[in-house]
C-alpha cells in the first residue's frame, strides 16, 4: 500500500529563521552568526516581513505548519516567540492543528524555558543532541555535554510537546559500537522522531578548510553506508519507520513541516537568509526567493522594500526537476500522473520518464505502481542519482519549452 503523507501540495507552511548562535560549530554552514542581538527588534522585523509577504500565499485554512529554525531559536526570548505566533494566528491564520516546531540546542535550554515555549504555542521541539558520547561532542565543537543532551530531551518531553532528536554520526574513526551508544541512549529517551545525519563536510566551514588542507579525512563511503544500515536497522527494530533519507518516526508522527517541502508544498520563509517557495498553478512561473543572509542587512531590508538576495520565477522544467528531486527522498514518493496533470502535459511526462523509471525499478532503486514512484531501501543511498536520471528526459520534452498560452498554440 502507498504510504500517505501528512500534508499535500494544497498546504502552505511558514518558516522563521533565527540566525544567532552562542558559538559556531566547525561543521555548520547554516546561516548562523555569533553576534549580539536584540530579540524584540528581530521579532519586529519578522512581523513586518510577514505583513508584506503573507498576502501573496494561498492560505485558505491558514498556515499548516510553523517552523522556527536556525541558528538557535531556543535563544529567542519566549515572550517574543509568543508574540510572533499570536500575530501569525490572529493576522494570517494558523491551521487548528498546526504543527509548531522550535529547534533547541541542549546548551541553551532548561525545564522552565521549554514550558514557556509551550505556553507560547510551540508543540514540537527538535533537539540538536548530535551524540551522547562526550569525546564526540568535543570533536563536533558543541557547547554542551552528553548529560545536557539527555536532560534537554527529558525536559522537552515533560513539557508535553512532541520531541525530535538530531544525531550526527560517521565521524572519522567512529565504529558501530560508538554510534550504537548514542542510538541506544536516544531510544531510551523515547523521542517521537529521530533525524540521523551522517557528518557532511561543507566547503565554507572550519571542517571544510581543514579537509582542503588535508587535516581532516572524512570516513570512506562504504564505511558510512555500513553505519547507515546499522543505525537504520536499530531504529526500525525500535518501531521507527525510515520515511526519508535521514528521518525516522513512528508511523503517523512524521515531521509535517519537512514533509511539506518534500511533497512540493508552498512555504513562506521569513528572517535572515530564509527561502520561500510560492507555487504557481500549472507549476511554470512558480517563484523561489532567498532573503539577505546578514542579520544586519536583513533587519535594514525590513524597514524599506524587503529587497531579497534573489528572486526567480521557475521555468516548468526547473519546477518539475525540483518536484522529482524532492519526491525521491521519501517513502511518500511522487505520483507522476498527478504531476503530469498539474503541469498540463497531457501524458508527456509519464511517457517521457517511462524508460528511466522502468530501468531504475529493474535496478532495485525505485518502486513503481501505476505512475506512482518512491525510493526502495537501497534507493535511499542513491537519491541524487535517482533525481538526475529522472530529470534527464525533461530536456527532450518539446512540450516544456512551448508557451502555455492558448492564443499562441
Ligand atoms: C540548525 S541545526 C539545529 C539546532 C541548533 N542550531 C543545534 O545545532 O543544536 C540543524 C541540524 O542539522 C544537522 N547538521 C548541521 N550541519 C551538519 C553537517 N555538516 N553534517 C551533518 N549534520 C549537520 C545537525 O544535526 C543540527 O542539529
Ligand atoms: S548551534 Fe546549530 S546552527 Fe549554530 S553553529 Fe552549531 S549547528 Fe550551526
Q: How far is the CA of 31 from the centre of ligand 1 (A)?
A: 11
* Pairing mode of beta strands 12-18, 266-270: parallel
pLDDT of 61: 76
Instruction: For residue 189, give the nearest of 139, 141, 146, 245 by alpha carbon.
Output: 146
Q: What is the residue-averaged pLDDT of the chain?
A: 95
- Please tell me whether residues 58 and 139 are part of one structural domain: yes
| d(C-alpha 157, C-alpha 260), whole Å | 24
- Please tell me whether residues 347 and 230 are part of one structural domain: no
Torsion 126-158-14-340 (CA) sign? positive
Q: Output the CA–CA distances (angstroms, integers) from residue 38 to 29, 84, 248, 333, in the order listed.
A: 23, 15, 36, 42
| d(C-alpha 153, C-alpha 110), whole Å | 10
- Please tell me whether residues 250 and 387 are part of one structural domain: no
Cell of 56: 501573496
Kindly identify the ligand whose nearest atom is closest to the C-alpha of 105: 1
* Structural domain range at position 176: 12-262
Length of the chain: 409
Domain end position, chosen among 207, 234, 262: 262
Overall domain count for the chain: 2
Domain membership flag for residue 328: no
Q: How far is the CA of 57 from the centre of ligand 2 (A)?
A: 30
Residue 23 alpha carbon, nearest atom of ligand 2: 5
Domain end position, chosen among 211, 230, 262: 262
* pTM of the complete model: 0.96
- Please tell me whether residues 258 and 340 are part of one structural domain: no
pLDDT of 398: 66
Domain membership flag for residue 279: no
Question: H or E segment at 12?
Answer: strand 12-18
| d(C-alpha 361, C-alpha 364), whole Å | 5
Domain membership flag for residue 283: no
| d(C-alpha 32, C-alpha 30), whole Å | 6
Instruction: Quote the longest CA-to-CA distance of the chain.
Output: 67
Residue 91 falls in which region: left (phi positive, over 0), alpha (psi -120 to 50) or beta: alpha
Ligand 2 pocket check for 333: Cβ under 6 Å: no
Q: What is the pLDDT of residues 132-185, one digit of tens each?
A: 999 999 999 999 999 999 999 999 999 999 999 999 999 999 999 999 999 999
Unique residue bearing C-alpha cell 547554516: 30
Listed in sequence order, the residues at least 6 apart from 388 whose beta carbon sits closer than 8 Å to its beta carbon are none
Domain membership flag for residue 381: yes
- Please tell me whether residues 22 and 144 are part of one structural domain: yes
Q: How far is the CA of 255 from the centre of ligand 2 (A)?
A: 20
Task: Flag residues of the chain having pLDDT under 50.
Answer: 405-409
Instruction: For residue 262, give the nearest of 338, 340, 175, 324 by alpha carbon.
Output: 324
Ligand 1 pocket check for 369: Cβ under 6 Å: no
Domain membership flag for residue 138: yes
Domain membership flag for residue 286: no
Q: How far is the CA of 119 from the centre of ligand 1 (A)?
A: 26
Residue nearest to atom 8 of ligand 2 (CA): 28
Instruction: For residue 63, give the nearest of 266, 323, 310 by alpha carbon.
Output: 266
| d(C-alpha 371, C-alpha 335), whole Å | 6
Domain end position, chosen among 262, 277, 301: 262
Residue nearest to atom 3 of ligand 2 (CA): 71
- Please tell me whether residues 101 and 244 are part of one structural domain: yes
Mutate to test the pocket of ligand 2, among 23, 26, 28 (most ligand atoms within 8 A of CB): 28
Domain membership flag for residue 299: no
pLDDT of 58: 73
- Please tell me whether residues 23 and 107 are part of one structural domain: yes
Mutate to test the pocket of ligand 2, among 24, 106, 109, 140 (most ligand atoms within 8 A of CB): 24
Q: What is the CATH number of the domain that holds 100?
A: 3.20.20.70
- Please tell me whether residues 72 and 174 are part of one structural domain: yes
Domain membership flag for residue 275: no
Q: What is the DSSP secondary-structure string of 134-199?
A: HHHHHHTT-SS-HHHHHHHHHHHHHTTSEEEEEEEE--TT--HHHHHHHHHHHHHT--SEEEEEEP
- Please tell me whether residues 77 and 215 are part of one structural domain: yes
Q: What is the pLDDT of residues 199-227, one digit of tens each?
A: 999 999 999 999 999 999 999 999 999 99
Kindly identify the ligand whose nearest atom is closest to the C-alpha of 23: 2
Ligand 1 pocket check for 128: Cβ under 6 Å: yes
pLDDT of 401: 61
Amino acid at each position: 500500500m502507498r504510504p500517505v503523507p501528512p500534508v499535500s501540495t494544497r498546504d502552505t507552511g511558514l518558516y522563521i529563521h533565527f540566525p544567532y548562535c552562542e558559538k559556531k560549530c566547525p561543521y555548520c554552514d547554516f546561516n548562523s552568526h555569533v553576534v549580539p542581538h536584540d530579540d524584540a527588534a528581530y521579532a519586529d522585523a519578522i512581523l513586518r516581513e510577514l505583513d508584506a509577504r503573507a498576502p501573496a500565499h494561498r492560505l485558505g485554512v491558514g498556515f499548516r505548519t510553523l517552523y522556527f529554525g536556525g541558528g538557535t531559536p531556543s535563544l529567542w526570548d519566549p515572550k517574543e516567540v509568543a508574540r510572533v505566533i499570536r500575530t501569525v494566528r490572529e493576522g494570517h491564520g494558523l491551521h487548528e492543528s498546526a504543527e509548531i516546531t522550535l529547534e533547541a540546542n541542549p546548551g541553551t535550554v532548561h525545564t522552565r524555558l521549554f514550558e514557556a515555549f509551550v505556553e507560547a504555542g510551540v508543540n514540537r521541539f527538535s533537539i540538536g543532541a548530535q551524540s551522547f558520547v562526550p569525546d564526540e561532542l568535543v570533536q563536533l565543537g558543541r557547547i554542551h555535554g552528553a548529560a545536557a543532551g539527555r536532560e534537554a530531551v527529558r525536559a522537552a518531553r515533560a513539557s508535553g510537546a512532541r520531541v525530535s532528536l538530531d544525531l550526527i554520526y560517521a565521524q572519522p574513526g567512529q565504529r558501530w559500537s560508538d554510534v550504537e551508544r548514542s542510538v541506544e541512549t536516544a531510544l531510551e529517551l523515547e523521542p517521537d522522531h529521530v533525524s540521523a545525519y551522517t557528518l557532511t563536510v561543507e566547503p565554507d566551514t572550519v571542517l571544510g578548510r581543514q579537509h582542503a588542507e588535508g587535516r581532516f579525512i572524512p570516513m570512506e563511503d562504504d564505511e558510512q553506508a555500513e553505519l547507515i544500515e546499522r543505525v537504520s536497522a536499530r531504529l526500525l527494530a525500535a518501531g521507527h519507520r525510515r520515511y526519508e533519507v535521514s528521518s525516522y518516526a513512528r508511523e503517523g508522527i512524521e515531521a509535517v513541516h519537512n514533509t511539506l517541502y518534500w511533497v512540493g508544498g508552498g512555504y513562506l520563509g521569513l528572517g535572515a537568509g530564509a527561502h520561500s517557495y510560492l507555487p504557481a498553478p500549472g507549476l511554470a512561473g512558480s517563484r523561489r526567493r532567498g532573503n539577505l543572509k546578514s542579520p544586519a542587512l536583513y533587519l535594514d531590508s525590513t524597514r524599506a522594500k524587503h529587497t531579497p538576495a534573489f528572486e526567480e520565477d521557475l521555468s516548468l522544467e526547473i519546477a518539475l526537476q525540483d518536484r522529482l528531486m524532492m519526491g525521491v527522498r521519501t517513502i511518500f514518493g511522487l505520483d507522476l500522473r498527478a504531476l503530469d496533470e498539474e503541469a498540463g502535459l497531457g501524458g508527456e511526462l509519464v511517457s517521457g520518464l517511462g524508460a528511466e523509471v522502468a530501468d531504475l525499478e529493474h535496478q532495485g532503486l525505485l518502486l513503481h505502481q501505476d505512475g506512482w514512484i518512491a525510493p526502495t531501501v537501497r534507493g535511499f543511498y542513491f537519491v541524487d542519482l535517482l533525481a538526475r536520471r529522472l530529470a534527464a528526459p525533461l530536456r527532450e520534452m518539446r512540450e516544456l519549452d512551448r508557451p502555455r498560452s492558448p492564443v499562441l498554440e
